[in-house]
């Protein structure tokens, strides 16, 4: 376990320490930092924004610049996931009635799942049942999941410029199976943009997890209020 005493730190230093520990891939320390922030009454969203996501942004920059390499980034990712696990109950707990169902996955060729997991957790928290297909999901698996679960919403995540075009492959495959029209398709991930979402024929672009939840809720409420 972490031996560092987090309780001595100011709030600002606590979050800076969390970012440092995430950068260094120290899962136990990240967990201890998150616990301390929760003890101080910070919301899950604040801990994500000021600690975990902020830390991962620094990792991303140094990864891009060749200062960090895959094994180190993997350790940071694991530390982030450990911190997120503590936030999971807060993010997924919902007093809301079941709003609808969503199938989500990271597209084929892509193994990045932190953002997708965050979106899934926050969707659950908003009252959606989420079927998470995981990473490296091919079009056939998306199609089969839509047939099996009949969700109102399908979400796709991609973090690589080389994998984001696969979103169109999935949307086309759903069209060929006659499943496209009944679905609201949302896409997201760091390289995805509003115009890319339109290009591939998605219904919405989710800039981040919070925005994605708002878009999904708005769509489901609109749908419920539509005369049948």
Residues that bind ligand B1M (CB under 6 A): 53, 56, 59-60, 63-64, 70, 73-74, 77, 109-116, 118-119, 155-157, 159-161, 186-191, 206, 208-209, 212
Considering the complex, what minimum distance in angstroms separates the CB of residue 171 from ligand B1M?
13
Considering the complex, what minimum distance in angstroms separates the CB of residue 185 from ligand B1M?
9
The rounded distance, in Å, linking the Cα atoms of 54 and 61 is 11
Name the residue nearer to ligand B1M (CB basis): 42 or 116. 116
Considering the complex, what minimum distance in angstroms separates the CB of residue 194 from ligand B1M?
12
Name the residue nearer to ligand B1M (CB basis): 37 or 59. 59
Considering the complex, what minimum distance in angstroms separates the CB of residue 195 from ligand B1M?
16
Considering the complex, what minimum distance in angstroms separates the CB of residue 162 from ligand B1M?
6
Name the residue nearer to ligand B1M (CB basis): 9 or 211. 211
Burial annotation 109-145 (CB, 10 A radius, 16+ → b, else e): bbebbbbbbbbbbbbbbbbbebbbbebebbbebbbeb
Contact between residue 139 and residue 169 where contact means Cβ atoms under 8 Å apart = yes
Helices 70-92 and 114-125, axial angle in degrees (round to 10): 0
Other Cβ atoms closer than 10 A to 43: 13
Name the residue nearer to ligand B1M (CB basis): 99 or 118. 118
End-to-end, the C-alpha distance of the chain in Å comes to: 57
Q: For ligand B1M, which residue has the nearest CB?
A: 115
Owner of token pair 């503590």: 86
The rounded distance, in Å, linking the Cα atoms of 13 and 24 is 16
Name the residue nearer to ligand B1M (CB basis): 4 or 201. 201
């Amino acid at each position: 376990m972490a031996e560092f005493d987090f309780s001595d730190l100011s709030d600002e230093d606590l979050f800076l320490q969390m970012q440092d520990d995430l950068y260094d891939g120290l899962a136990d320390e990240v967990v201890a930092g998150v616990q301390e922030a929760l003890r101080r009454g910070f919301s899950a969203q604040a801990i994500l924004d000021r600690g975990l996501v902020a830390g991962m942004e620094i990792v991303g920059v140094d990864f891009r610049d060749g200062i960090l390499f895959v094994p180190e980034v993997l350790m940071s990712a694991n530390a982030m996931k450990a911190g997120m696990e503590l936030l999971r109950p807060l993010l997924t707990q919902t007093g809301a009635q079941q709003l609808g169902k969503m199938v989500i996955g990271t597209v084929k060729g892509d193994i990045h799942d932190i953002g997708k997991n965050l979106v899934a957790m926050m969707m659950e928290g908003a009252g959606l049942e989420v079927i998470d297909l995981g990473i490296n999901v091919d079009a056939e698996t998306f199609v089969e999941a839509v047939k099996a679960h009949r969700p109102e919403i399908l979400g796709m995540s991609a973090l690589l410029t080389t994998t984001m075009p696969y979103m169109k492959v999935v949307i086309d495959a759903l069209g060929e199976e006659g499943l496209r029209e009944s679905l609201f398709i949302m896409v997201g991930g760091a390289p995805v943009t509003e115009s890319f979402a339109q290009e591939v024929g998605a219904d919405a672009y989710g800039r981040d997890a919070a925005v994605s939840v708002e878009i999904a809720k708005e769509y489901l409420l609109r749908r419920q209020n539509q005369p049948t």
